[in-house]
Structure 1
Amino acid sequence: MSIIYDDLYRYTGTRQFTSLVRYILFTPGFRYTYFYRKVQSAKFFPTRFFWDVLRRQCMLRTGIQIPAQTKIDKGLRIVHFGHIVINPDTIIGKNFNIAQGVNIGNAEGRRQGTPIIGDNVYVAANAVIVGNVKIGNDVFIAPNAFVNIDIPDGCIALGNPAQIIQKEYASKKYIIYKI
């Protein structure tokens, strides 16, 4: 349950039960995060099935598709909900922000595989990250960026294809309430 409160902290800066209830009821991105975490933490099939049904209903309403198999560390923040797709084999670090229209997925060919994303990463609207790429810590992926290359720590990736701009702690002002 503490991972849910860590996710809540990323939204509000508090870990209060009243904020938890409010955000479950009125914030679709957090609601999906809550159900996603409950499915992952369920130990028994009936409980897991119950939470998965709720997660799937939320998925249909919000357009967020993050499979329960996806490994996301604490501090997930869905900034804007709608048409978010993440491959189940993707590995994501802590303090991860994601906006609407993002696709993080598998690729075939030279970069076959799925992304590994570090800590304190912000992926802005309509960005695409595909293939066996490594996104470093403190990275900002700009809106509409197409990333199929490795991005080192502290950089900004923008454009199609992605261009790397070196900047110390690129995501610093976008990642609030760090865990």
Structure 2
Amino acid sequence: MMIEKIKADKFRWHGKKHIFALPQFRFVYVKRHCEHYRDRNKLLFLFWRLIYQHMEIKYNMDVPAKVKIGKGLRIEHIGGVVINPLAELGENITLLNGVLIGSQSRGKRMGTPIIGDEVWIGTNSVIVGGINIGKDCLIAPGAYVNFNVPAHSIVLGNPGKIIPKECATEGYILNKYEYKSE
């Protein structure tokens, strides 16, 4: 499973010659190793976890190793990304810098977000609460999302406004990794 995820993540950077020179890819690569070895081999997990913790500090990222992220993760710009450990992200997700995916500890939207497949999340976007974001959604830079977003939508502004649009992420999700739904 780890190899499949790494292949998918690498595919999203298709065309880049020296992919390991990209800190964004190295960060995701090490995260995938932490995910894989967490319950399989404690010694290898600790090895990869130490490297991962160093990278989190170096690149100003807070993406806990236990966050569930599907195949094909692409982080466009490193820095300032914060994801709650209980959040779930689908496949072919693109994140830019300054993204916050967090929990809400009270109220009717208490919980953490579940983000569907093929979602593009722009710079300085905030996604919080026990909400669902559907497949093929574009969260514009600076958007504040604390409500459910249906599939094939664009969310703009603060407070966020939903604009329905077929193929909302066309031209934004680069090099989609084709996977088989289970």
* Alignment counterpart, residue 67 of structure 1, candidates 64, 69, 88: 64
For residues 13 and 168 of structure 1, what CA distance do their matches in structure 2 show? 27
Unaligned runs of 5+ in 2: 178-182
Q: Please name the residue that 2:19 is paired with.
A: 23
Q: Please name the residue that 2:116 is paired with.
A: 118
For residues 2 and 110 of structure 1, what CA distance do their matches in structure 2 show? 37
Which digits, 9 at most, give the CA deviation of each residue in 1:76-110, with x for residues without a partner?
A: 00011111000011111100000000000000222
Q: Please name the residue that 1:144 is paired with.
A: 142
For residues 13 and 139 of structure 1, what CA distance do their matches in structure 2 show? 25
8 A contact 2:4–2:71 mirrored in 1:
no
Q: Please name the residue that 2:9 is paired with.
A: 7
Figure out how many residues of one structure are paired with residues of the other and give that number.
Answer: 172
* Mapping for residues 21-100 of structure 1, pairs under 5 Å: 22-24=18-20, 26-42=21-37, 43-100=40-97
- Structure-2-length-normalised TM-score: 0.91
Q: CA RMSD in A?
A: 1.1
* Alignment counterpart, residue 132 of structure 1, candidates 130, 135, 149: 130
**1:137–1:13 CA distance, 2 compared to 1 (3 A):** farther
Q: Greater share of helix residues, 1 or 2?
A: 1
Q: Does 1:161 align with 2:176?
A: no
Amino acid in structure 1 at the alignment position of 2:45: R
Q: CA deviation at 1:169?
A: 1.3
For residues 86 and 169 of structure 1, what CA distance do their matches in structure 2 show? 26
Q: CA deviation at 1:63?
A: 1.1
For residues 69 and 2 of structure 1, what CA distance do their matches in structure 2 show? 18
Q: CA deviation at 1:13?
A: 5.2
For residues 64 and 161 of structure 2, what CA distance do their matches in structure 1 show? 29
Q: CA deviation at 1:5?
A: 1.3
Amino acid in structure 2 at the alignment position of 1:23: I
Q: CA deviation at 1:23?
A: 2.1
Unaligned runs of 5+ in 1: none
Q: CA deviation at 1:68?
A: 1.3
Structure 1 runs of 4+ aligned residues shifted over 3 Å read none
8 A contact 1:136–1:152 mirrored in 2:
yes
